[in-house]
Amino acid sequence: MSARVIHITGARPNFPKAAPVMRALDDLGVDQLLVHTGQHYDDKLSDVFFRQLNLRKPDLSLGVGSGSHATQTAAVMVALEEVFTEHQPELVVVYGDVNSTLAAALVASKLGIALAHVEAGLRSFDRTMPEEINRILTDSVSDLLFTTSPDANVHLGHEGVPEERIFFVGNPMIDTLLSSVDRFDASAVFAELPFEASDPYLVATLHRPANVDDPTALQDLVSALIECAAKAPVVLPMHPRGVRAFTATGIFEQPNIHIIEPQGYLEFMGLVRGARAVVTDSGGVQEETTMLGVPCLTLRPNTERPVTISDGTNTLVTPQTVVSVLRDRLAASADAEHRTPPLWDGAAGRRIARIIAERVA
């Protein structure tokens, strides 16, 4: 079986980006396959997204699982080499900056297959972040580079990418948000919490290795969250694999911090939409809060998504400043107007699909 286009997804952030692109390509009659590498492989991080986003089930699931960066990337490369050799695609489409993205980019490039990168050009300029390395290397071998913000075009130009390969199309993850917003529903979560959805509350997510794997850094972050919880209860989704790192911090003994399991897309976005603020180290959450008008306090020294600061609701904070910034955000009007970035209009998937369809026509 052959396919003109093969899409590679590997982890939770990929699925909301791929769904609108694949739907638009279906509408254009483009033959395509979806390959899920299994970098995220349990229901809460993977399967539930296919159900909730109406994303078709993967045509191929590789099941590579977890491991070190080298182990995971190598396993995906070996598996994808077989897939691409068998199916002979004209174009491979990768999303974001996870290890599966880089692995697919390298294999496609070595086999002489054209490569499209959705969410190209984002830069934190912090090469201690594995995602930054993945972004730079993937962009360097891509033939079609689809950007979500004007600054990404500038970065790619500075890196010598020819202008004709770069397409400012908007953000397909926002397509998914806008098409799903009427279905956001956190009622099942609130049924297990000791407060109502109408009460003021915060949402927190912490997962980046620089924050979670360093016990000292993690303790500082948890101490900051405990201070935030004095302002409003904090809901913190946490995967069981993260429990060991957090146990020594004392976070589970905090009555105003509520640890819950990872949530599906609709449930988590329902939580975010109703929150007075979100404290996070996630890239995607910075974008989602920007569209929903929810203040976002990002516990990182930098962001590859500065448009969420200039045109959104995001603020970079440290464990030392997060409480004072939160105090200001809580004091501000919840109905204050906010800007949204250009072309975050729900049509990015269709723009991408038209360009891909022309490429493989």
The alpha carbon dihedral of 350, 352, 353, 357 has a sign of positive
| Known active-site residue 207 | yes
Contacts of 168 (CB under 8 A, 6+ apart): 147, 149, 150, 152, 153, 343
CA distance 118 to 194: 40
Q: Which one-letter amino acid corresponds to residue 34?
A: L
* Helix segments in the chain, DSSP class H: 14-27, 47-52, 69-87, 99-110, 130-140, 150-158, 172-180, 187-190, 209-212, 215-229, 243-247, 265-274, 283-292, 307-310, 322-331, 348-360
- Helix or strand run (H / E) with residue 297: strand 296-298
CB atoms within 10 A of CB 182: 7
Closest CA to 82 of 96, 105, 62, 58: 62
CA distance 165 to 200: 46
Contacts of 53 (CB under 8 A, 6+ apart): 15, 16, 19, 176, 180, 265
CA distance 1 to 326: 54
Q: Which one-letter amino acid corresponds to residue 224?
A: A
Residues 179/20, Cβ–Cβ less than 8 Å: yes
- Give me the catalytic one of 36, 207, 239, 258: 207
Contacts of 165 (CB under 8 A, 6+ apart): 142, 143, 144, 145
CA distance 328 to 345: 29
Query: What number of residues does the chain have?
Result: 361
Q: Residues with catalytic annotation? A: 207
